[in-house]
C-alpha cells in the first residue's frame, strides 16, 4: 500500500485511523455530507479531474476553499495573486478514500452527481468539447461498481475503518479483468456482438486505474491533425 505523505500518521506497521483521517481532511468534516457542494465536488474532483471555468463568478471563493479545506494543491499563481491554478496530485491512497466515501452509502453517489450536475448546468464546471468529463466519470464508476459486485477477498481494505496491516491491498487499487469490465460497462451481450475470438483474446488481460490527471502534453506523439492548436489539454488515467 503506497501511503505517501500519510505514512507520517502511522504507528509501526499498522494503519490505525489513517484512512478515516484522510477522509476527514478531504471533506473537512467528521462525516461525508454528499449533498454539501464543497464536499461532493472535492470527492469527485480528486479522481475525475474536474475542469473549473475560471470566468464563473463563484470560482475564486471555490478555489480558495479547495486549497484551504479540501487538500487541493496550489500549483501556480498570477503575479497579482488574483488567479491561482490548483488541483489534486496523483495520490492513490486519497483516491481510494474518495471512492470509499462515494460508495459507503447508496445515496452518496446519487447526491454527489446531482451536485455536480447543478454546477455543470450553472457553468462552473466544464464537461469538455466532446463531453470528456462524462467519459472519465463513466469509466471510473464502472470500475468502482464492477469490483464491488462480488465479495472482496479477506484482508482487502474496503472501508475507512480498516486498522490492520499496511501490506493489505486497497479494494480500489486492484486490477480488474477486461472481459468482466467491458461486460459490466456495456452489458452481457457485449462479447457475443464482438465475436468469440475477441473474448478469448482478452481472457487473461487486466486493467487498473482509479483516478485521472490533467496533462499539458501528450505522453506519446499525437496522430497528425489539421490543427494541432486544438490539442492543449490531455487527460491521463492512473
Q: For residue 227, is pLDDT > 70?
A: no
Instruction: Tell me the per-residue pLDDT of 20-68, one tens digit each, with 9 for 90 and over.
Output: 889 999 999 999 999 999 999 999 999 998 988 888 888 888 888 888 8
Higher pLDDT, 88 or 111: 111
Q: For residue 14, is pLDDT > 60?
A: no
Listed ranges 18-32, 75-89, 153-167; the one with the highest mean pLDDT: 18-32
The pLDDT, as a whole number, for residue 3 is 62
Q: DSSP assignment of 4-40, as one string? A: GGGGGG-BTTB-SSHHHHHHHHHHTSSS--TTSHHHH
Domain residue ranges in the chain:
9-173
The pLDDT, as a whole number, for residue 228 is 46
What does the pLDDT average to over 12-25? 77
Region for residue 224 given its phi and psi (left: phi exceeds 0; alpha: psi -120 to 50; beta: otherwise) = beta
Do 37 and 45 contact (CB within 8 A), yes or no? no
Q: For residue 171, is pLDDT > 80?
A: yes
Listed ranges 15-24, 58-67, 120-129; the one with the highest mean pLDDT: 120-129
The pLDDT, as a whole number, for residue 233 is 40
Average pLDDT, the chain: 83
What does the pLDDT average to over 8-12? 59
| Distance of alpha carbon 36 from alpha carbon 43, whole angstroms | 11
The percent of residues in the chain predicted with pLDDT above 90, rounded, is 45
DSSP letter (8 states) at residue 87 = E
The pLDDT, as a whole number, for residue 64 is 85
Do 68 and 53 contact (CB within 8 A), yes or no? no
Q: Is 182 helix (H, G, I), strand (E, B) or coil?
A: helix
Q: Which of 18-27, 37-46, 146-155, 199-208 has the lowest mean pLDDT?
A: 146-155
The percent of residues in the chain predicted with pLDDT above 70, rounded, is 79
Q: For residue 13, is pLDDT > 60?
A: no
| Count of beta carbons in the 10 Å neighbourhood of residue 183 | 16
Q: For residue 234, is pLDDT > 60?
A: no
The pLDDT, as a whole number, for residue 10 is 60
Amino acid at each position: 500500500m503506497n501511503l505517501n505523505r500519510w505514512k507520517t500518521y502511522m504507528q509501526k506497521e499498522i494503519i490505525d485511523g489513517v484512512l478515516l483521517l484522510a477522509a476527514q481532511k478531504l471533506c473537512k468534516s467528521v462525516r461525508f455530507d454528499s449533498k454539501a457542494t464543497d464536499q461532493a465536488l472535492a470527492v469527485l474532483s480528486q479522481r475525475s479531474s474536474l475542469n473549473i471555468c475560471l470566468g464563473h463568478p463563484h470560482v475564486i471563493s471555490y478555489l480558495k476553499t479547495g486549497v484551504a479545506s479540501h487538500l487541493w494543491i496550489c500549483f501556480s499563481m498570477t503575479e497579482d495573486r488574483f488567479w491561482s491554478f490548483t488541483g489534486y496530485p496523483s495520490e492513490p491512497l486519497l483516491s481510494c478514500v474518495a471512492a470509499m466515501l462515494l460508495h459507503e452509502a447508496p445515496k452518496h453517489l446519487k447526491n454527489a452527481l446531482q451536485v455536480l450536475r447543478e454546477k455543470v448546468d450553472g457553468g462552473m464546471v466544464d464537461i469538455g468539447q466532446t463531453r470528456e468529463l462524462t467519459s472519465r466519470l463513466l469509466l471510473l464508476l464502472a470500475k468502482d461498481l464492477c469490483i464491488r459486485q462480488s465479495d472482496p477477498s479477506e484482508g482487502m481494505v474496503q472501508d475507512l475503518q480498516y486498522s490492520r496491516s499496511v501490506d493489505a491491498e486497497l479494494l480500489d487499487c486492484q486490477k480488474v479483468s477486461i472481459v468482466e469490465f467491458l461486460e459490466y460497462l456495456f452489458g452481457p451481450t457485449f462479447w457475443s456482438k464482438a465475436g468469440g475470438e475477441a473474448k478469448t483474446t482478452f481472457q487473461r488481460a487486466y486493467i487498473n486505474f482509479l483516478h485521472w490527471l490533467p496533462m499539458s502534453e501528450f505522453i506519446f506523439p499525437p496522430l497528425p491533425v489539421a490543427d494541432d492548436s486544438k490539442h492543449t489539454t490531455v487527460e491521463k488515467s492512473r
